[in-house]
Amino acid sequence: MLDRYAEITLGAIQRVIEEEREGLRAGAAAVARSLDAGGVFHVFGSGHSEIVAREIVGRSGSLVPINQIVDRSEDLAEAVEGYGTLLADAYDQQYGLRPGECALVVSNSGVNPLPVEIARACRERELTVIAITNVAQSREAASRHSSGARLFELADIVLDNHSPPGEAAVALRDGGPRVGAIATITGAFLANALVVETARLLAEGGATVPVLTSENHDDPDALARNKHLRQRYGGRLRRFGA
């Protein structure tokens, strides 16, 4: 079963590399333009999709100006219509959702009201919306939002996580339950690939790439360098005392 799980997971990552390359390039180009102009990259996910969004926030090797829209309900309000709109409004008032910036919205199913409303709120504010979602599963499911919209239909750029329907990859026996989710693995790969490609574009354009350096490594200048980079964004970054 371990070998089968590895085979399915690695196969999904390979499909991501082969089939999502153009989407990653388009998304990175949009993010790079925004960051080069002084913008912030906003990321959101609820439920287990929050893991994917959180993956690239405030960590070594990622970009400094990435800020997370945090679901304060801790997944309890994912299906409550109207909550996502209120959450986006509150976040906008505190951190700013500015035209020309980019937002990454992560939802495996892409049908619940919360991610749908976050994506819609960002589009209404003229942000470029990038989605990480399970396109095949989402196409087969009805939206749980009264608008009938699903995440992939609201996004400007869609990145498919190529997870099996229902996420679990390996059957215990014929007709039995399946175990071993992979959406978080492929989703995190996509999110980090987006960061890597964005950094490449910024570097090639001659911009200073605002990358966080590990402060747990033998680099005496890391702390001061990271502090300087964070200060450029003032109160727009939640994790750093904003």
For the chain, the distance separating the N- and C-terminal CA atoms, rounded to the nearest angstrom, is 46
- Predicted confidence at residue 240, as pLDDT, reads 53
pLDDT bucket at 155, cuts 50 / 70 / 90? very high
The predicted-structure confidence for 59-112, as pLDDT tens digits, reads as follows 899 999 999 999 999 999 999 999 999 999 999 999 999 999 999 999 999 999
With a cut of 90, say whether residue 242 has pLDDT above it.
Answer: no
Superfamily for domain range 2-240: Glucose-6-phosphate isomerase like protein; domain 1 (3.40.50.10490)
Tell the residue number behind the tokens 């699903």, with chain if given. Answer: 150
Q: How far is CA 224 from CA 111, 214, 215, 216, in A?
A: 43, 11, 10, 13
pLDDT bucket at 202, cuts 50 / 70 / 90? very high
- Predicted confidence at residue 239, as pLDDT, reads 66
Q: How far is CA 109 from CA 26, 46, 56, 133, in A?
A: 23, 11, 21, 7
Residue 227 burial (C-beta neighbours within 10 Å; 0-12, 13-18, 19+): exposed
The predicted-structure confidence for 1-58, as pLDDT tens digits, reads as follows 999 999 999 999 999 999 999 999 999 999 999 999 999 999 999 999 999 999 999 9
With a cut of 70, say whether residue 175 has pLDDT above it.
Answer: yes
- Predicted confidence at residue 120, as pLDDT, reads 98
- Domain-by-domain residue ranges, the chain? 2-240
SS (H, E, C) the chain: CHHHHHHHHHHHHHHHHHHCHHHHHHHHHHHHHHHHCCCCEEEEECCCHHHHHHHCCCCCCCECCEEEECCCCCCCCCCCCCHHHHHHHHHHHHHCCCCCCEEEEECCCCCCHHHHHHHHHHHHCCCEEEEEECHHHHHHCCCCCCCCCCHHHHCCEEEECCCCCCCEEEECCCCCCEEEECHHHHHHHHHHHHHHHHHHHHHHCCCCCCECCCCCCCCCCHHHHHHHHHHCCHHHCHHHCC
Q: Is the dihedral of CA 98, 99, 100, 105 positive or negative?
A: positive
With a cut of 50, say whether residue 172 has pLDDT above it.
Answer: yes
- Predicted confidence at residue 111, as pLDDT, reads 97
- Predicted confidence at residue 61, as pLDDT, reads 93
Among 26-35, 144-153, 208-217, the range scoring the smallest mean pLDDT is 208-217
